[in-house]
Amino acid sequence: MQTLVATRSELLARRSRAVFAEQGRDLLQDKRTALVREFRRHGAELLSGLEHLRTLAVEARERLDDAVAVCGQPTVRSGALAAAAGVEADVRSRTVAGVLIIELDHGPVRRGVGTRGWASTVTPARLDSVASAYEDQLQLLLDLCAVELSVRREATEIARTTKQVNALENIVIPQLREEARRISLTLDEREREGHARLKRAMTRRLARGST
């Protein structure tokens, strides 16, 4: 057991530190509440988006297989090369309870007929159908990237904050309160002993004065 210096200043210091630790715990709990709220919102958005992404992937694959079967692989491959293009993206961030949340803004992914690098008059319509399906898939995928990154960051921070709250709640605060209690008991005992000594001294003085 830790040896304590039983003084009034130490008692006040322990009590002050305990109050400060409780305030810190409350702030961390508020932070965790805000993070959990964001985590649930982003988590629901991510799960819904992933389910939709699976549907789009299946549909895009079916259109691709159909185009290959009807138009031939060389035609589809030539169309893919002609339609290849980049997508502008801008990564932004904001903070929620001190945690950096990533947001991704991107340019339009879906393109219209005649803007994919081939002449629509001589290109099978199935190629536009395949391109549309994969453009929809890519657009949703870009939207979900930032959401997934945010979910991961929030989950990590929630776990870290919970660990801090538990440490304050179960270790730091009880220890400070126990130390303050022990110091208070020691001071009370000293005070009682002081009163007893004073009472004995007064009794002896009165006894000497009566003789």
Looking at the chain, the number of H-run helices and the number of E-run strands are 4, 2
Evaluate whether residue 194 is within a structural domain.
Answer: yes
Evaluate whether residue 2 is within a structural domain.
Answer: no
Evaluate whether residue 38 is within a structural domain.
Answer: yes
Q: Give the number of other Cβ atoms within 10 Å of residue 96's Cβ.
A: 18
Evaluate whether residue 178 is within a structural domain.
Answer: yes
Higher pLDDT, 101 or 170: 170
First-to-last CA distance in the chain? 50
Say which residue the tokens 């179960």 belong to: 170
For the chain, what is the mean pLDDT?
Answer: 85
| Counted domains in the chain | 1
Evaluate whether residue 3 is within a structural domain.
Answer: no
What is the DSSP code (8-state) at residue 97? T
Answer for the pair 117, 95: CB distance below 8 angstroms, yes or no. Answer: no
Evaluate whether residue 58 is within a structural domain.
Answer: yes
Amino acid of residue 131: A
Evaluate whether residue 188 is within a structural domain.
Answer: yes
pTM of full prediction above 0.75? no
Amino acid of residue 175: Q
Rounded CA-CA distance 137/140 in Å is 5
Answer for the pair 137, 56: CB distance below 8 angstroms, yes or no. Answer: yes
Evaluate whether residue 165 is within a structural domain.
Answer: yes
pLDDT of 9 higher than 50? yes
What CATH number does the domain containing 96 carry? 1.10.287.3240
pLDDT tens by residue, 49-69 = 999 999 999 999 999 999 899
Rounded CA-CA distance 153/156 in Å is 5
Domain that holds residue 44: 8-210
